Amino acid sequence: MLRTLTGLTSSGRRLSSTLAMGATVKQRCDSIRQSAEDRRRHRGLLLANNLRVLLVSDPEADKAAAAMAVQVGHLSDPQDVEGLAHFCEHMLFMGTKKYPNEAEYTKFLNDHGGSSNAYTSNDETNYHFDVAPEHFKGALDRFAQFFISPLFDESSTEREMNAVHSEHEKNVANDQWRLMRVQSSTLRPGHPHCKFSTGNRETLNQPDVRERLLQFHQ
């Protein structure tokens, strides 16, 4: 599973020093090809854990931001738990071992002029946030715990399952989503793209869904 972290800061050193505390840099690249109109500074890093990092320094930015791209999407859903990748995306926001309060991440960002979001596509799940630059380190630490030690607490499971179900119901009347579903349903039976990508209560309400989540995240 490949992961890529992109960070945008008003000072490229900030993300570099934050990353250096947790992982060894195995390779560094300062010769990144970019548009002649792009005045920002870029640096690529490969960490010892094979996390690929792109640092972007923009002195004119008024926010610091980061995004993590995990190269696993709904095509990797188990056949018997369709929508598990999307459900995993939702559940990662519901507290971690280091920050067990499920509101901690969002509250920290809101308190410091930031925001966050995520999406699950065919072969990628992307998580991202922005925040006031002086609070970037604290936000990045909270963000990193999603990928280290999520709780997947049982008390949050049914609530987030309902949230995924509501999202699906909202999509039912959307022509773009309807077209995507028509396309997927006309593919060769058994092809990964035939699966129901977003999931709902019916596909996710399994007695062992928490254990399946933990396995999928791992």
User: Where in the sequence numbering do the catalytic residues fall?
Assistant: 89
User: Rounded to an integer, what distance in angstroms lies between the CA atom of residue 130 and that of residue 53?
Assistant: 17
Q: Average of pLDDT values for 95-124?
A: 96
Q: What is the pLDDT of residues 149-174, one digit of tens each?
A: 999 998 899 899 999 999 888 888 88
Calculate the average pLDDT of the chain: 88
Per domain, the residue ranges of the chain are 62-217
pLDDT-based confidence at residue 15 (cuts at 50, 70, 90):
low
Model confidence, pTM:
0.84
In this predicted structure, what is the pLDDT of residue 174?
85
Q: Is the dihedral of CA 90, 152, 138, 8 positive or negative?
A: negative
Domain 62-217: assigned CATH number: 3.30.830.10
pLDDT of residue 38 exceeding 80, the answer is yes
